[in-house]
Amino acid sequence: MKSRTCPNCSYTYSLKQYLKKPFWKGVFSHWKCANCGRALTFSTSRRILLAIVGVAPAVLIPYIARFFIAADFSAVLSWTGAIILVLVWTIGVFSFEIFVLNEEPGEKINRQ
């Protein structure tokens, strides 16, 4: 299964589109595909894995900040830099997210 792709119409979301909408949704929420209108949700197991890999480096922020401070950057700049680095990592990891069809009772009927 390809990441960021609609399982119904194979429409692949660009990273920009993904960050605009599905990225901010909760694990159990769903949304309509921008291309075919089919209700989609996340692969929960994939999302949990990505959350662990993507959010874990947040604990490293103080260490990264200290590294920058040791390299003679100001404290504000060091902390901002550390947070941005971890944020970029998190977004990068979540771009591998997988979408699945949202199976709702009653919605299975109008398939095909």
Judge contact between 72 and 48, C-beta under 8 A.
no
Give me the helix-helix angle, 61-70 and 75-94, nearest 10°.
140
In the numeric block, the tokens 């299975």 are attached to 108
**Closest separation between CB of residue 106 and Zn ion, Å?**
19
Q: Is the CB of 33 or the CB of 93 nearer to Zn ion?
A: 33
Terminal CA-to-CA distance of the chain, rounded, Å? 20
> Which residues in this chain contact Zn ion in the complex, by CB under 5 A?
6, 8-9, 11, 33, 35-36
Q: Between residues 22 and 54, which has the closer beta carbon with respect to Zn ion?
A: 22
Nearer to Zn ion, 6 or 86 (CB): 6
Q: Nearest distance from residue 9's CB to Zn ion, in Å? A: 3
